[in-house]
Amino acid sequence: MAGNKKPRGNLLWPLLLLILGNLNPRCAADHCSWRGSGLNAEPWSRTVEQVRLRCTEGSLEWLYPARALRVLLEPNLAAGPTTVCIKPARGFKGANVYLERAGRLQLLVNEADEAHLQLVHCFGSEQPQHVALFLQASPQLDLGRRMVAFQYELLSGRVEAQKHQQIALAEAMCQPCDNTQLLMAICSSDFVVRGSIKSVTHDSEHQMSQVEVSAKQVYRQKNRVFQQDEVSLEWTGPIKTLLQCRVKKGDGDFLFTGNEHFGDVWLGCAPRFKDFTAIYQAAREQGTNPCEFQLN
């Protein structure tokens, strides 16, 4: 259908040059996240509001988008290849998102492409300290509520993947961790949880599996993915992994580790707890443990 054609980025680069000459130098944000409204824009002005975000992860919410918004991601990262990912929020409507690259605009998120709108969109960057996104508001004939919102993450080191699931695969690789990897995982993972598997569900459409965990002890978590039920007082939480990892329900206690991306936790090393205990105690006796870990 004609309404679902992707805008051609090579036709927009003259517009980019014009816009760069009319940037509003006032920063709407200087931290991890930004929230603003196009209703505040002066209707006769041709300036483009510019937003600077200086963290490796955060979010943006643009209500009633009007004209354009330029977003500069300027995290404090060492020079080198970086993967940048953005995940549009539910109800994303009112603008397309472009990546500025070599003076041209490359379409990243097309609001008309509903089938792919909820996917995580990733791209590589050789200059992680200066990634520019350009949000072009769509013409609107009604006054209904519109919101352009997304989360973003920057991952050091290039991951040759356009799908977020492939990034998880690059981290996990669906294979058991060796002792060194396991000992590092308890030090550096976003979450470390001791618990048992309540259930495993599979989603063949998205090629993912979800492990529902009953946690006996939450040693560490980045956000509140694992929560305690007010009635039963049981701690539970979902962990995602790839369908091809063929995760099955097993008995006994495990030590679950992994990382969090866009509010979901992804499985990393997950040994049986008794095996982990033996490995950690042996490393501690030899003085080879990379960090201290409280077993009890």
pLDDT digits (tens, 9 = 90+) for 125-174: 776 567 899 999 988 767 678 899 999 988 776 544 445 555 554 455 56
Query: What pLDDT is stored for residue 82 in this prediction?
Result: 79
Report the alpha-carbon distance of residue 245 to residue 177 in Å, rounded. 13
Per the confidence metrics, is the pTM higher than 0.85? Answer: no
Report the alpha-carbon distance of residue 233 to residue 230 in Å, rounded. 5
Q: Which domain range does residue 188 map to?
A: 166-286
Among 131, 161, 191, the domain-final residue is: 161
Same domain, 192 and 155: no
Same domain, 173 and 150: no
Which CATH number do you get for residue 220? Answer: 2.40.50.120
Most confident region among 4-8, 73-77, 199-203, 230-234 by mean pLDDT = 199-203
Same domain, 153 and 14: yes
Number of helical H runs and strand E runs in the chain: 4, 17
Same domain, 137 and 124: yes
What's the angle, vertex CA 155, arms to CA 149 and CA 161, rounded to 5?
85
Query: What pLDDT is stored for residue 208 in this prediction?
Result: 85
Asked whether residue 293 is domain-assigned, the answer is no
Query: What pLDDT is stored for residue 167 in this prediction?
Result: 55
Asked whether residue 141 is domain-assigned, the answer is yes
Asked whether residue 121 is domain-assigned, the answer is yes
Percent of the chain with pLDDT over 90: 43
Same domain, 215 and 228: yes
Residues 6+ apart with CB under 8 A from 203: 209, 210, 243
Asked whether residue 296 is domain-assigned, the answer is no
Among 161, 182, 217, the domain-final residue is: 161
Among 104, 130, 161, the domain-final residue is: 161
What total number of domains does the chain contain?
A: 2
For residues 265 and 61, which has the higher predicted lDDT (pLDDT)?
61
Asked whether residue 59 is domain-assigned, the answer is yes
For residues 167 and 225, which has the higher predicted lDDT (pLDDT)?
225
Grade residue 10 by pLDDT with cuts at 50, 70 and 90. very low
Report the alpha-carbon distance of residue 90 to residue 61 in Å, rounded. 12
Same domain, 136 and 90: yes
Query: What pLDDT is stored for residue 265 in this prediction?
Result: 86
Most confident region among 22-31, 171-180, 189-198, 245-254 by mean pLDDT = 189-198
Same domain, 156 and 175: no
Same domain, 78 and 138: yes
Q: Which has the closest alpha carbon to 6: 96, 91, 84?
A: 96
Asked whether residue 292 is domain-assigned, the answer is no
Same domain, 262 and 175: yes
